[in-house]
Structure formats: structure tokens, C-alpha cells
A and B are shown apart, each in its own frame.
Chain A
């Protein structure tokens, strides 16, 4: 590439990022460059420093009028508070301030929206029954949205086992719980969910697998 061409491209590139007016998105050359700029990291523009996850206090929880769900994602690097936005039969849609939602059915996640690989739906009734029965086996179905915008289905065989009693702390409050583990697998994927149930059998804390790309979510019910 000649220096002149380089300069020209650089000028075009810089100008491409500063085009104004709503119509200029259509230009093919500049549009492609802008697209490329958006998809590549631009040297010299350092990544924003990692924001520490928010700290949830009891006072914050008490301020909110109804139920609250504290959600941790990406190995604990992100945390958010969610509140119920809709209840459809036994399915509760929880929503966060930055428009991410999680749907639970009796405490078990059956859907997410706004994550990079969303769980579109899941059937978890057998897992819930096994938990209530103190252990057992269950079949789960998970649906995710594929790169090709299709529903991709995984049917998993799970075994649910009682691990022991454990005293945990949920947002500054100690709680005596019973800990269960659910091991699920099929030929493609496998994961291990953990549930902490309170005395009335409600899931107060859980670590649940969503999708291979997203990993696990940790849900607390303070």
C-alpha cells in the first residue's frame, strides 16, 4: 500500500466515523468501513476498565416494595437486582434496570432474554418434583437461539441429589438451607446445577446453567 493510499484510507476512515445526518449510513464504502470499525477493536482505544460488580445491601433490598432477585453472571463479574415484571401462571418474569430478563418457574430458570446466548425456554417440572421429593431423576429440555436464528433443542437426563444442610448468608442475613445438586447431561453438553432450599422448600439460592456461551447464573432470593 502506498503512503498516499494509506493516508487516503485513514482520512476516509476518520471521516467515515464522523459522517453526520441520518442518511449517510447507506454509503457502501464508508458503511463497510464503519462496520469493520465497529466489529474490530480499534488500536489506541483502550478497553473500558472493568466495572466492579455492584454490592447489594439489605437496605437496598428493603427499599424495593415487592420480591427481589439478585443475579450474578459471568463468574461473578456482573451483578444486578431484578424485580418481577409479569406473572403468567407459575412463570415469573424478572427484569433488571438494563433490560435483561430472567423467567423462573418455582425458582428454576426457564428462560432468559438479553444475554448473548439466551435460553428461549426450558421444561423443568420433573427437576422441580425431584427436588421436592428429596432427590430423584428428571428429564429436562432446553431451547436456545442458534447463530442461524433457529431454535436449538437439547434434551438432558438429570439426577438430583441431596448434599447436606448448610448455613448460607443471603444479603447480610444467615439462613439454614438444604443443598441439592442436579447433574444433567446428553451427548452434547453437561452441567451441574446447585440449589439451596429453605425450610419451606423454596429455592433461596441457586447456581443454574443457561447456555454453553453464557455459563451459569447465581440467583439469590433475599
Chain B
């Protein structure tokens, strides 16, 4: 007897109905990982929300790995990591030596107009506007479809895209000269690329480019372009061999989300490309594979009129409700019942959406609550603190169930207020097991060290958590690498005046012995309604031990929150044992202990849910190297749990002292597990990429910062997944 959708057996049946959407759609990608032709852009935008990872290779252009995100319908951003050869300084004989470089770059494109009946779509873009400028270009491009299978593109480029047959800038004056800055600061001996190159934008020669794409079928297309990138020889410019401005390629999309390209480039070499796309807006598991909830148990008019109930039955009700909520993966931790109201405090261990958990708790309450109880007060709780109180009128639950408009009507009928006091609640004992552990493999990546794009470490890790009570826990993790004792990966030559608060990370945990990754106590409590506190002390992270305290004010019905954090951090010994020590690298490469390093850091943080799926955060304060500044973050948050965001930090550490990259910046991703697996789970994968890990703008890594802990109970957050209340 099977009706539930089971992936392995029923896919065929599902796919039949989706045939219409199972075809590749949207624009194809370039070797630069952006939408377009081969190396030149088009004015096409991917579907809003699309994330594309592109890997491309050709002999002289090297490797390019690009992540592109279509942030809005019109705006896209890209982050690229590329390995290729660049030209060095010109010698007396006019020759230039070439050497390998590992380069990060950022692109942005904005589509100004949609394609009309006669007018092309027009977009403006910046390529490599934040990096060292190896590919630095700006462009304006138009793309027009002719019939349903042909797209024609023409545009004007500046910078690298203004090289071939470039003419003087028609804007004249200041725009005639590009004034490309030499990003290599000879005095400081560091490369300070990574700043906004605003003064170069749309300056210097301008050159035309053009191209066509012909779709033979929805999954097969041919591209040809006239490229305005000449790859001229110059100091630190890409050493790409070019003998023709024409590039050709074929793009094949065997199934949605996959695109493979084969190209003939520069008149002399073959290249390959693979692009993988995923769109958070399109969940492969549709609305999820959750089992049906219990139906609401309705009362008759007479039953609704009851004014009181037999108080002697409370222990039995409590036991029954505990059992029912357990079915839903929800722990009942507190119950208070009056004549007409029942207040429950619970921990939802299963559902990503607290709105869905609230719906399930409400349904279960209708099964066992005495007839006279008219109001349900639900208090979702996490890490020992109640997040909010969701007041649900029982009559509305009964009347609205399975009716059109019930979601909106329910959210009109319920209210979200600060959680009530803990005192009158009949509390459940702290759950057993109080001790949890886990042993398993780990896989760590160290990204973008010079000379090595990825350094992997693999081994075995042992995790343990001892829950003293709901608020206080001890957390530990030790690990041992399967690679044994290792040599440090080559890190940056860091001649700045600051302690290597992060750049020494490559020296940590290389002894091959047992490492103490973390060992700390964490205490979280509610200090006042809507005010939360956290105290964490011990070995907080790989590089630092210390004490971290945080206070957060997060009103349940507002779209903002403010917090403050104060930390005392001390640099750990690089052997990752119990000691603290500061090392310095000698000219011969030896590491010598030179004392200790400790620092007090702290931040004031503001969080703001802008709406339309955007969330901003600003942290102002003092960082690990003693530098002062602020971190700005912007995330695109999808209601189904995906977030895609970026951040940057400006501090008073001069760019020349910071080193390559000039300031700290990066991107981050959260992928909810239920998006893929379908069945409800709170698990998610968080990952991030920093352009470069340097010492400026570095923050202490503390687990369990408060905002994300308490945010789920907020009205905005509950409303974001309102559709799941009745699921």
C-alpha cells in the first residue's frame, strides 16, 4: 500500500507530467562563467535566482572557475578563480617572460532594458572590477532574437575589451586615458589589487564586438563571435596566444542544469567548458515529501461553549501530548493550562519551517486539549530560550482547515508576541541522553593559498556534547589527520606590522597527532523579554581560545535586531593542544615561539530584514589584529531556506598592510538539506569563500551566535514559510 512519493520507484510517473519543463531553458554561458557567447557577454539574464558554476579550460587561457548568481531579474554577480600565465617585465630585448598567476576576480552585469519587438535587450557590465584587474573590462551590449532560434549580439567594450581596433573614447576629455594603475605597490612590496577601479571605468579606447548564437534544438546551440579582447602583451596581462579575433563554440545541454561546451578559440586552440546550474526557486522535491499531518479534531458548538475542565486530567493530557508531538519530532518541554488557554513550549527538531511546526503542534493540541480550551499559545524554543509566543485561536483552526484562503486567514487570526515567563510552566525534565557523541570522517579545505588553489585535509573527528541543562552545554571536538605530519602549505610572505592573526592558519594542526579543534562551554539565556544573552568560553576555534559574550535585542514583530559582542581571545599554539603561543617564521622557514598574543575584540551589530528576500547586516568594531572597522553583509534569502550572500570589511588597516586583495571580502551560501532530500529536516550546509584569508578584518569564530538562533520565532520569519502552516 504505497501512495507516498518514493524517489526510486515513482520518478517516471512524475517526469511524464513535467515534460514541458524538463527542457533546457535560458541563456548559455561563456568561458568566463557569465551568460553570453564564448568570451564576450550578451544582454541575456539567467532566470532570477539561478546559480551557475562554470569550469573552463584552454591551453593558454588556463583554468577558470566561476560562480555566477542572478541576484534579481536584471542584476547578476560573479566570483572567479583563475589559474593562467601572465607576462612579466619587459626585458632589454623586448621579450617578456611569463609566469603563472592565481587570480580572483568579480563581475557584475545589469540588464537595462528588456527585448522588445524591434529593440534589443541592453545590458551594461563590469568584468573584473574588484580584482587585480587582469581581465578588467567594461561593456555595453545589446542582444536581439531573430525568430525563435537565432540571437544576434553587438556591443562596445572598454579596457581589455577595448583593445582590438579600439578607437579614441568618444566621451573625450578625462575619458580618453584609462590610467590603469599599477596594482603592485613597490614600496610595500605587495599587490594591492582588489580595490574598486572606478577611475578606469569606461575610459580609454573603445572597441566593438559582435556574435551570434543559433539553437539547432533546445539542447544544442552553436556560437560564433568577433572578440574585441586582443590579449595584448603588457605587464601582468594574461599571456594568451591570439591569432584570430574569431571564436567558435558548440554548447550542449543534455538535461536541465548541465551545459557542456567545446570551443575553438583565438584561431589556434581548443577549449572545454562545463556549466552546472541550480535555481533555489525550483525545488526538485516540489513542496516536499512530508507525511500528512494529523487532521484537526473539531468540536461541536456545545463543546465549544464549555468554560472549564477537570484539572485532575492535566498529567494525562500532558503525557498524551508529549507522545503526539514526539511523532512529529517535536519535544514538549513546558505546559501551562488555565480554564480557556493552554500554553506549550517545545523544541522542533524536524521542520525547517517553524510555521509548519506550529501548525503540527496546533493540530496535535486539538486532539487532546479539553473542549473549554479556546486559545493555544505556542512557544518554539531553541537552545533553552523561548523565541516567541504564537497565539492560535482554536475555533479558527477548526473552521479554516482545508479551506481556500486559510493560510492568509490564519496569519491574520494568530498573533506573535514575546514568549511568556518560564515560571508557571510545568517543565519537562532535561531530555536524555544528556551526553551525545559522534565519530566520523572530516574533510577540510584550505582555499586560495598562493601556489595552491585547494589544500585538502582528511581524517577522523570525534565530537561530543554534554548537555548540563537546556541552557548550558559543553562542546568538544578532536580530530586526527589521515595525512600524518605535514609540511606547512606555502603561505603569504607577510611583512606587515600586524600579528598574523589569520594568515598563520596554514601552520595549525600539522603535527599529525591528536588535535583539539574545540572545547568550550556555552550558556544561552533570555535576559528579558526579547533580550538574549550568550557566554561561550574555552577553546573556541582552531586558532583561538578565550571568552565570548553577546547580548541581542530582537523584537519578535520587528524586522530588525541589534546586538553587541565582546570577546577576549588568545592565540593558541599551532600544535592545537592546550597551550597558547605566538610563533614567527624565520627566514629559513623555521617557526619559533616568540611569546603570546591576546586581544580584546568586540562588535556592535545591526540586522535588518529589508524585505523582498534581502537581508542586511552591519558589524562595527575591533577585529583580531587590533584593527577597527566595519563589516557589511547582504544576503538574498529564499523562503525555502537558501541564502546567497556577500560581505566585505573595511578597517583602518591600510590596503598596503593588508596585502593582496586590499580588504576582506567573500561570498557565502546556505543550502537547506530538505531542498534535495524532500523529507523535512533542519539540516543545512553552510559554506563560504573568502577572496583571500588575510589578517585585516578578521573576526573570532564563535559557534552559535544569537541572531540565527532566535530568529526563527520572529513574525517575518514565520510569515516567510506561511504556506507550510497547514502542511
| A interface with B by C-beta (< 8 Å) | 5, 8, 11-12, 15-16, 18-33, 35, 38-39, 47-48, 50-51, 54, 71, 73-75, 77-81, 85-89, 91, 93, 95-101, 103, 110-111, 113-118, 120-123, 141, 143-151, 153, 212-215
Residues of B within 8 A of A110 (CB): 402
B726 touches A150 (CB 8 A): no
B588 interface contact, C-beta 8 A: no
Residues of B within 8 A of A24 (CB): 438-440, 461, 463
B2 touches A149 (CB 8 A): no
B677 touches A99 (CB 8 A): no
Q: How far is the CA of A22 from the CA of B683 in the complex (A)?
A: 13
Residues of A within 8 A of B671 (CB): 35
Q: How far is the CA of A16 from the CA of B13 in the complex (A)?
A: 32
Q: List 23 contacting pairs A-B, 8 Å CB cutoff, sorted by A.
A: A11-B458, A12-B458, A25-B683, A30-B441, A32-B685, A35-B685, A39-B284, A48-B8, A51-B9, A78-B2, A95-B292, A96-B3, A98-B4, A100-B3, A113-B291, A113-B292, A116-B288, A148-B638, A149-B287, A149-B353, A149-B640, A149-B721, A151-B408
B676 touches A47 (CB 8 A): no
Q: How far is the CA of A26 from the CA of B683 in the complex (A)?
A: 8
Q: How many residues of B contact A (CB 8 A)?
A: 76
B402 touches A114 (CB 8 A): no
Taking the closest CB of chain A, its distance from the CB of B600, in whole angstroms, is 29
B596 interface contact, C-beta 8 A: no
Q: How far is the CA of A27 from the CA of B459 in the complex (A)?
A: 12
Q: How far is the CA of A149 from the CA of B726 in the complex (A)?
A: 11
A120 touches B727 (CB 8 A): yes
B3 touches A148 (CB 8 A): no
Closest A residue to B287 using CB positions: A145
Partner of A144, one of B287, B294, B406: B287
A146 touches B441 (CB 8 A): no
B456 touches A5 (CB 8 A): yes
Partner of A47, one of B9, B18, B407, B458: B9
| Given known contacts A147-B281, A148-B281, A78 and B3 CB-to-CB distance under 8 angstroms | yes
B442 touches A27 (CB 8 A): yes
Residues of A within 8 A of B401 (CB): 88, 91
Closest A residue to B290 using CB positions: A114
B293 interface contact, C-beta 8 A: yes
A103 touches B402 (CB 8 A): yes
B456 touches A150 (CB 8 A): no
Q: Per-residue 0/1 for B274-291: is the Cβ within 8 Å of any A Cβ (1 yes, 0 no)? A: 000000011111111111
B14 touches A116 (CB 8 A): yes
Q: How far is the CA of A149 from the CA of B297 in the complex (A)?
A: 25
Q: How far is the CA of A115 from the CA of B238 in the complex (A)?
A: 54
A-B pairs with the 4 shortest C-beta distances?
Answer: A19-B440, A29-B443, A21-B438, A23-B438
B4 touches A114 (CB 8 A): yes
Taking the closest CB of chain A, its distance from the CB of B283, in whole angstroms, is 4
A73 touches B3 (CB 8 A): yes
Residues of A within 8 A of B638 (CB): 148
B17 interface contact, C-beta 8 A: yes
Q: How many A-B residue pairs have CB under 8 A?
A: 236
Apart from A21-B440, A113-B293, list 11 A-B contacts with CB within 8 A. A18-B440, A24-B461, A51-B9, A77-B10, A89-B298, A114-B292, A143-B407, A149-B721, A149-B724, A150-B722, A213-B14
Q: How far is the CA of A118 from the CA of B293 in the complex (A)?
A: 12
A26 touches B463 (CB 8 A): yes
Interface residues of B in 684-727 (CB under 8 A from A): 685-687, 720-724, 726-727
Partner of B436, one of A8, A22, A77, A121: A22
Residues of A within 8 A of B720 (CB): 149
A100 touches B727 (CB 8 A): no
Residues of A within 8 A of B283 (CB): 147-148
Closest B residue to A82 using CB positions: B3
Q: How far is the CA of A146 from the CA of B288 in the complex (A)?
A: 10
Q: Per-residue 0/1 for B1-45: is the Cβ within 8 Å of any A Cβ (1 yes, 0 no)? A: 111110011100110111000000000000000000000000000
| Given known contacts A8-B458, A78-B3, A123 and B290 CB-to-CB distance under 8 angstroms | no
| Given known contacts A8-B456, A28-B686, A148-B640, A141 and B17 CB-to-CB distance under 8 angstroms | no
Closest A residue to B475 using CB positions: A23
Residues of B within 8 A of A118 (CB): 287, 727
| Given known contacts A39-B676, A75-B13, A213-B14, A115 and B723 CB-to-CB distance under 8 angstroms | no
Residues of A within 8 A of B18 (CB): 212-213
Q: How far is the CA of A38 from the CA of B673 in the complex (A)?
A: 10
B296 interface contact, C-beta 8 A: yes
B13 touches A21 (CB 8 A): no
Residues of A within 8 A of B437 (CB): 21-23
B398 interface contact, C-beta 8 A: yes
Q: Per-residue 0/1 for B658-691: is the Cβ within 8 Å of any A Cβ (1 yes, 0 no)? A: 0000000000000101001110000101110000
Taking the closest CB of chain B, its distance from the CB of A61, in whole angstroms, is 13
| Given known contacts A15-B441, A22-B438, A24-B438, A117 and B3 CB-to-CB distance under 8 angstroms | no
Taking the closest CB of chain A, its distance from the CB of B359, in whole angstroms, is 11
Residues of B within 8 A of A33 (CB): 443
Q: How far is the CA of A20 from the CA of B683 in the complex (A)?
A: 16
Q: How far is the CA of A21 from the CA of B213 in the complex (A)?
A: 53
| Given known contacts A32-B685, A78-B10, A86-B297, A101 and B292 CB-to-CB distance under 8 angstroms | yes
Residues of B within 8 A of A113 (CB): 290-293, 727
| Given known contacts A23-B465, A86-B296, A213-B17, A148 and B639 CB-to-CB distance under 8 angstroms | yes
Taking the closest CB of chain B, its distance from the CB of A7, in whole angstroms, is 11
Taking the closest CB of chain B, its distance from the CB of A142, in whole angstroms, is 8
Interface-central residue, A48, A51, A120, by most chain B CB under 10 Å: A120
Taking the closest CB of chain A, its distance from the CB of B677, in whole angstroms, is 5
Taking the closest CB of chain A, its distance from the CB of B47, in whole angstroms, is 13
Q: How far is the CA of A9 from the CA of B5 in the complex (A)?
A: 32
Residues of B within 8 A of A147 (CB): 281-283, 286-287, 640
| Given known contacts A29-B443, A141-B404, A21 and B3 CB-to-CB distance under 8 angstroms | no
Residues of A within 8 A of B678 (CB): 116
Residues of A within 8 A of B461 (CB): 24, 27
B83 interface contact, C-beta 8 A: no
B296 touches A151 (CB 8 A): no
Closest A residue to B363 using CB positions: A86
